[in-house]
Amino acid sequence: MNLRYAIVGSGAIGGYYGGRLANSGCDVHFLFNTEYEHVTQNGLRVDSVKGDFVINPINAYHSTANMPKCDVVLVGLKTTQNHLLPQILPPLLKPDTLVVLIQNGLGLEAKLASALPHQPIAGAAAFICSSRVGKGHICHADYGAITIGMYNGDCQDVIAQMKVDFEQANVPFSIATDLNETRWRKLVWNIPYNGLTVALNTSTDRLMNTPATRALVTDLMNEVVDAAAVCNAVIEREFVEKMLTMTDRMTPYSPSMKLDFDNHRPMEIEAIYSNPVKTALAAGYHMRKTEMLEQELRFIASKQ
């Protein structure tokens, strides 16, 4: 089975994974917004710790209206743009097209499913240090694995073929049995580092090397594990230590929210903070420090 892929949001995430797939010979069609003119002339450049490459020529489009229908749509947009998906996606969709949200946060698939109730939808978590450093230019600094989990629909064959395609493209690919757990696990890292690097205007390594913020990062991680537990996602407590150790070993890194803030883009407060806090509260657990970080971020966003 040859899958045709659409990449909606060809930035740090969509551009990297779409680029990897295209570079290994898959049939990939990229939606660009402001970068469209640039990539049609210069291609998509990926500087990667796993080897640099350029996709040129590239199947680039400025509107989904001109794109072919695809088997898999990989959404790499910021969640702050997800309200646009019901208008953007339809030209790409056959009844069995799988839409995969490679995004951070909670509640995204449910919201999309309410707009596209009959479409197969999956979520994916990317464990990657990647950023857009210029027009059509992505820098991949570390990691890169992706974990996918179905939200609704039955796409076993498609996902099995995706695994083949991604692994041929040199991307470690896991299939999660529980998307909810995958989402919460990702939040264990995202909730402390995304918000604190913005609120304290710093980087991951400085948070880790100062005892007070190392303790705060740990508190926030434990809060996410506790919240996950009441939301039917069992995360072993050792996962916190594992994330701390992983971050200690990471190249000092600006998480996506810090890059968004520094570049005056909207921050993904709703998906990464408000939705988890609300979901946990509805299940009976109050994520107090996470909520405080959300409140601080909303203040900071109000001054952006």
List active site positions.
186
Q: What is the nearest approach in angstroms of its own copies to the Cβ of residue 207?
A: 8
177 vs 302 by CB, closer to its own copies: 302
Residue with tokens 């208008």: 87
Q: How far apart are CA 145 and CA 173, in angstroms?
A: 6
Classify residue 298 as exposed, middle or buried by CB count within 10 Å of its CB (0-12, 13-18, 19+). Answer: middle
- Using CB under 8 A, list all residues that contact its own copies: 199-200, 202, 207, 210-213, 215-216, 219, 288-289, 291-296, 298-300, 302
175 vs 208 by CB, closer to its own copies: 208
Q: Which helix (H) or strand (E) holds 282?
A: helix 275-282
Q: What is the nearest approach in angstroms of its own copies to the Cβ of residue 78?
A: 20
Q: Which helix (H) or strand (E) holds 218?
A: helix 211-230
65 vs 299 by CB, closer to its own copies: 299
Residue with tokens 């990926």: 46
Residue pair 258/199 in contact (Cβ under 8 Å)? The answer is: no
Residue with tokens 């990317």: 126
Among candidate residues 146, 141, 273, the one with its CA nearest the CA of residue 203: 141
251 vs 299 by CB, closer to its own copies: 299
Q: What is the nearest approach in angstroms of its own copies to the Cβ of residue 219?
A: 7
Residue pair 108/42 in contact (Cβ under 8 Å)? The answer is: no
